[in-house]
Amino acid sequence: MTITTTALRLSDKVGASLGLMDRPLDPDPLIRKARHQTGLSDFGDASFIGPLTRLLDACYAESALSIVGRQATKWDVVRFLSNLLILQDAAVRCPAIEETPIRRPVFITGLPRSGTTFLHRLMLMDPANRAPAVWETITPSPSAGTREQRIARVTRQLRTFEWLAPEFPALHPLRATSPQECSEITAHVFRSLRFDTNYHIPSYSDWLDADVVRHLPAYRFHKRFLQFLQHQDGRDGDMSGVTLGGARRWVLKCPEHLFALQAIRAVYPDARLVFVHRDPVKVLLSQARLTEVLRRPFTRRLDPRALGPHESRRWLDGTRRMMTAGDDAGFLDPICHVHHIDLISDPISTVEGVYRHFGMTLAPRLAADIEARVASNPNGGYGEHSYHFEDHGLDEQQERAKFRPYMVHFGVTAEAGPRRRANPGSQRVACGEEPTLQS
């Protein structure tokens, strides 16, 4: 047992003895706190209150929050609410912000741990492309300090989380300046699968999954958030987001986009969509392990064997949605399909193929830059991890049978099977995580 684990368990015992675990999570004090911290009161659209209440009720009733989990949840909610107030205030003061066009954004999606991060960061080496950074999604407003101050603050926050979850950096290297997934943006209006990863909250997840229309407010806010960031580009001496031709192209990434294609199409009808494909059996255990590491500091009750079936159900649904979309999800351009095996074996040609597919121009120098970057950081900070199917409640052959239609439909190559240890009853797969690039 680590020092961290011992400290967390002790804090939970103290919290239980004081009756802190029995208190429901009430949104009203958190709303008041956000208003007090920002000095603002107008949220504009208050439709977030219902989803927030549903989320907090599920966290209290279903996720067995630890003391750290309760405090982290409250901090998260107040942060989101504060950002909502700040963005609304900015829109009132400068209505032109919400008239800012977001032209032909690129959405990269697919199964988690499939190479989406690697492709995303390769494309972001092009100075014509732009993505929200981790520090921007946490503190988007200059009112919170200069760019350098906000980056430093988020760096400290990430170090705190790494103390709570020391295995996280090897599973998903992340810095304050790294590009962030869009689930962190949609979480602001409490309609995001980001919460499903951090907490065991089946009632909330079932509610969010039940109706595709529920994603629409999330992506309307997503656009407002991008417009706010785009408006900040070039201000306060920071020219990182501006080119001679004006705003850069948004290149966005999140596996969650698979479940919101209709909402994306409604909000961004000219969006360009990229599906990244990989052998699902190679990613399921890695994703289950990541979910375990993310949840552990926040809960007093965690069964890793329940996580594998949960991830399998979630991403089997994701593969079915990709099959339904095929090449045409109703956008102006056909979907671009990228295969993990091609991406890691020839990243330059793969990126060139994406650009060619959408009629975009890849600067000649970028190919050389990509080659040099990949050569200097071939594994992107990821470690080699060995997983056992039974540890996360899965059977390899059953999973291969379930996902076979997806693999056949898209011609996905099956990767090397699991290496078995001396005990023949154990199924293990050694997974190198999806390669990425440090940012």
Which of 200, 390, 187, 393 minimizes the C-alpha distance to 296?
200
Number of domains in the chain: 1
Backbone angles phi, psi at 388, to 5 degrees: -115, 130
Tell me if 439 is assigned to some domain. Answer: no
Which of 7, 23, 104 minimizes the C-alpha distance to 56?
23
Dihedral angle of Cα 170, 182, 184, 66, to the nearest 10 degrees: -50
* pLDDT tens string 332-363: 999 999 999 999 999 999 999 999 999 998 88
Amino acid at residue number 58: A
Tell me if 437 is assigned to some domain. Answer: no
Q: How much is the pLDDT for 138?
A: 96
Q: How much is the pLDDT for 16?
A: 62
Q: 207-224 as b/e, with b when 16 or more CB fall inside 10 Å?
A: bbeeeeeebbbbbbbbbb
Q: How much is the pLDDT for 89?
A: 97
Tell me if 313 is assigned to some domain. Answer: yes
- The whole-angstrom separation of Cα 82 and Cα 27 is 13
CATH at 268: 3.40.50.300
Tell me if 365 is assigned to some domain. Answer: yes
Dihedral angle of Cα 117, 120, 126, 128, to the nearest 10 degrees: -140
- Domain range enclosing 394: 3-432
Residue 3 half-sphere exposure, CB side, CA atoms within 13 Å? 1
The CA-to-CA distance between both ends of the chain, in Å, stands at 33
- The whole-angstrom separation of Cα 378 and Cα 387 is 22
Residues of the chain with pLDDT under 50: 236-245, 380-383, 421-422, 424-430, 432
Q: How much is the pLDDT for 225?
A: 98
Name, in order, each residue with C-beta under 8 angstroms of 426's C-beta and a sequence gap of 6 or more. Answer: 388, 390, 420
* pLDDT tens string 216-225: 999 999 999 9
Tell me if 438 is assigned to some domain. Answer: no
Amino acid at residue number 280: P
Tokens coding 407: 């693999």
Tokens coding 76: 């998260």
